[in-house]
Structure 1
């Protein structure tokens, strides 16, 4: 049987590891936003000629550089997009800021449960973008590099969701552990 102190240390170590991962990802959002372009579904992006269309028409490769077209230029015949409140770049920056805030919140025991719940929800919401990117990668304009990258990225969401969800459980305190004996 493990002690409450070792359970708490393990939970804190897991939270610190999640925080480090989130910090690295947040940094990547700002240093190489092209890496995330395909993961932001087009239906979330404003129809800005310089933002959503430029990113959607140029696509990106595994290293974030410009690649072959993945969606082509948008036409005025597009149906209305009620969730298109930000440009693709703004979505990428906003998700980077959310990851940065979560990296801090997951370290603080008082905010860990709320942050972990929000992270699990955020990673679950990101599934839509990963599915859309995978669909485009296997479409007529997808490249082998995009297929490989998105085939790997999508299933990685499941362990991230489960890991975030596991951080919701509080570490047992010595008082409650003593009562359970």
Structure 2
């Protein structure tokens, strides 16, 4: 990958690391799957992990970078309800945990914007 795409490399790496985490430690992700979704939380955990791996790989490959980055923006928006659920479920936890869950909510916007920037640069 050319040096002029460090942002794409970082975005792809973040997505792949998150995807691997879904398979390495699925229980923590199962807990934030919204109950309204059909099927088992583990199925959604694995599906979202596989999506992150695929999208991350697409972002890293120059030929699929633009499409992968657009998919990344959509993926970041799609997982927002899980972050809302986490913030709600953790509302009674001790302060450091509660703050961490709340901090995830506004983090989604810069992630979406980052992905869209990578798309424009592709």
Q: Is the 8 A contact 2:19 2:53 kept in 1?
A: yes
Tell me the TM-score normalized by structure 1: 0.61
Task: Give unmatched runs, 5+ long, in structure 1.
Answer: 1-7, 45-83, 172-181
**Separation of aligned partners in 2, 1:114 and 1:29:** 23
Q: 2:71, 2:110 → 1: CA distance?
A: 15
Please report the RMSD computed on the Cα atoms of aligned residues, expressed in angstroms. Answer: 1.7
Structure 1 equivalent of residue 107 of structure 2? 156
For these two proteins, the number of residue pairs brought into alignment is 120
Alignment of 1:74-85 (within 5 A): 84=38
Please report how far the alpha carbon of residue 96 of structure 1 lies from its aligned counterpart in structure 2 after TM superposition: 0.6
Cα distance in structure 2, aligned partners of 1:92 and 1:149: 20
Q: CA deviation at 1:128?
A: 1.4
5+ long unaligned stretches in structure 2? none
Over alpha carbons, which structure has the higher Rg? 1
SS in 2 for 1:42: coil
When the two structures are superposed, what TM-score results if normalisation uses the length of structure 2? 0.87
Q: Which secondary structure does the structure 2 equivalent of 1:43 belong to?
A: coil
Q: Distance in 1 between matches of 2:26 and 2:100?
A: 16
Q: SS at the partner of 2:120?
A: coil
